[in-house]
Amino acid sequence: MGGVTSSVAAKFAFFPPNPPSYKLVSDDVTRLLLLHPFPHRENVDVLRLPTRRGTEIVAVYVRCPMATSTLLYSHGNAADIGQMYELFIELSVHLRVNLMGYDYSGYGQSTGKPSEQNTYADIEAAYKCLEEKYSAKQEHIILYGQSVGSGPTLDLASHLPRLRAVVLHSPILSGLRVMYPVKRTYWFDIYKNIDKIPLVQCPVLIIHGTNDDVVDCSHGKQLWELCQEKYEPLWVKGGRHCDLELYPEYIRHLKKFVSTVEKAPSRRNDSRKSTDGMERSRWSNDCFEAPRRSTDRREKPRKSTDRPEKLKFHEYKLNNNDKLEKLRLSCDLVGRSRRSLEYQEKSRRSIDQQMEKARKSVDWVDKIRAV
């Protein structure tokens, strides 16, 4: 029965472009796969990836020099990577990230037929390629899901506890809720994002147009309310379902988000080094580790701003707050060490030695500030 339901749902949920907007050709000299009719770029790889469900999907990987994040993009319903190709290039340049985009089974030149379960296998294959071929780490990957792409994005994110971040662009609560305002989740529904988003443990940015006539903006707002780690959302005034990239605030807000989540891990690592130099992070070898429960599922959103005239000042204030936080942590370390030595040895000489360590710690922070 589940297979029948999934097949019926697929007829309403998936509309791959027909004919596809591109062809795959092989270069006569290099034997590299190329995306026709687009010119070859040295920083772009075109790939065929096998999935665990027996299909073969087409993906493109865009390299960006000095990138510290990799964005895995799951596109919307009536699109393929040929139509998304130029946007992928622009996002890679403006966000300074490596980017992988892929076609779902049955889309573009990918084999098979589109279905909910196939899209889950498709994104897993793309993620596996990032890890194995490009050595991307989970904590450096940002998942980006647009429209129906929010389904495979949240399904994968709910199993990856150390992701850098998630971006949801015009997301859906579930397949059925796009058509009917139901109040509960039914067994035959597809892409039950409403049930999966509370399991996502990384920062989540939601972008939605206020005039979206395909997926109402209320979908994005309700998903944002259910996030564990909220980031200030972007409700694009007047934005519709397929034009948000045309608004200046779209790329501005997205760049700010990427910059924020890229800084966040280094701050956490600096704090750990300041408070306990012997602590080591434990990394799991299983990329689909079960998610941990959050202690605060109603975290307040991080502050952001989209006003360009205040951007430099905001960044200046953020950088100074980082430095003050590092100094505070070092001072806390001095206080704890001092109390411990007074309790154990009651020796003025030991206290002097500990103060010397504190001075070195502050000197170390000064070096960090000078970098």
Annotation marks residue 241 as catalytic: yes
Instruction: Tell me the HSE value of 345 on the side-chain side, using a 13 A CA sphere.
Output: 12
- Alpha helices by DSSP H, the chain: 2-13, 81-95, 116-132, 150-157, 175-179, 193-196, 217-225, 248-275, 311-344, 348-370
Is the pLDDT assigned to residue 152 strictly greater than 70?
A: yes
Q: What's the average model confidence in pLDDT over 72-99?
A: 97
pLDDT of residue 265: 58
Is the dihedral angle over the CA atoms 317, 319, 325, 330 positive or is it negative? negative
List, in sequence order, every residue forming a beta bridge with 207; answer none if it has no partner: 169, 234
pLDDT band at 13 (very low <50, low <70, confident <90, very high): confident
Q: What's the average model confidence in pLDDT over 193-220?
A: 97
Q: What's the average model confidence in pLDDT over 149-178?
A: 97
Least confident of 1-10, 57-66, 347-356: 347-356
How many angstroms separate the CA atoms of 268 and 162, rounded? 13
Active-site annotation holder among 75, 212, 216, 361 = 212
Q: What is the pLDDT of residues 116-132, one digit of tens each?
A: 999 999 999 999 999 99
pLDDT band at 139 (very low <50, low <70, confident <90, very high): very high
pLDDT band at 306 (very low <50, low <70, confident <90, very high): very low
What percent of the chain is predicted at pLDDT more than 90? 65
Residue, of 213 and 288, whose pLDDT is higher: 213
- Alpha helices by DSSP H, 14-163: 81-95, 116-132, 150-157
Annotation marks residue 92 as catalytic: no
Helix axes 2-13, 116-132, angle to 10 degrees: 80
Q: Please, what is the average pLDDT of the chain?
A: 79
How many angstroms separate the CA atoms of 143 and 83, rounded? 20
What percent of the chain is predicted at pLDDT more than 70? 68
How many angstroms separate the CA atoms of 301 and 293, rounded? 19
Active-site annotation holder among 69, 241, 330, 361 = 241
Residue, of 179 and 58, whose pLDDT is higher: 58
In 3D space, the residue among 152, 180, 176, 154 whose CA is nearest the CA of residue 165 turns out to be 154
Q: How many residues does the chain have?
A: 371
Q: What's the average model confidence in pLDDT over 193-209?
A: 98
On whether the CB atoms of residues 232 and 257 are closer than 8 A, the answer is no
Active-site annotation holder among 74, 92, 105, 147 = 147
Q: What is the pLDDT of residues 25-55, one digit of tens each?
A: 998 888 899 999 999 999 999 999 999 999 9
Is the pLDDT assigned to residue 294 strictly greater than 80?
A: no
Cβ density class 339-370: b for 16+ within 10 Å, e for less:
eebeeeeeeeeeeeebeeebeebeeebeeeee
Q: What's the average model confidence in pLDDT over 75-102?
A: 97
Give the DSSP letter string of 181-205.
--SS--TT-S--HHHHGGG--SEEE
Q: What is the pLDDT of residues 341-368, one digit of tens each?
A: 344 444 445 445 544 544 444 343 344 3
Residue, of 204 and 312, whose pLDDT is higher: 204
Q: What's the average model confidence in pLDDT over 303-322?
A: 41
Instruction: Tell me the HSE value of 135 on the side-chain side, using a 13 A CA sphere.
Output: 1
Annotation marks residue 212 as catalytic: yes
